Structure 1
Amino acid sequence: MRISIIMSKMEDMLMKIYAGEVPRENRELLEVLILSGLVKKENNHYEVTEKGLEFLDKPLVEA
């Protein structure tokens, strides 16, 4: 698989998580996002981290 395809899939999954969806279709990619620090999981809730927002080039929103 080409790196551009993998990056695109990572971006798509991050956008779904950012929108509040819990993607279940690709567990391996979700684990990669968690292990790379782009996503954090607390209980059954997934959240895009600051590093993930930088990957998406999104501004950090303070809660």
Structure 2
Amino acid sequence: MTFSPVKSIRALWAVAPPHVASQVEMAHHEAVRDALTFLEDHALYTVRASGRRRIRSSLRCRG
């Protein structure tokens, strides 16, 4: 799964002063973390003969 910001946000990050680019990058990482948390809470399950069980991912956000 890939999480990529829209082109306008990537362009802003590329040309922004360092302090603004840092804020854009932090916002992206927070959005990815929120999306993964939502998926873990609502969509990631495993099914075994003993029943359905929620799983937690071991994904780490890499910049």
Class of the TM-score when normalised by the shorter of the 2 chains: 0.3 to 0.5
The two structures have a TM-score, normalised by structure 2, of 0.33
Higher RCO by CA contacts (8 Å cutoff, separation 6 or greater): 1
The two structures have a TM-score, normalised by structure 1, of 0.33
The structure with more radius of gyration:
2
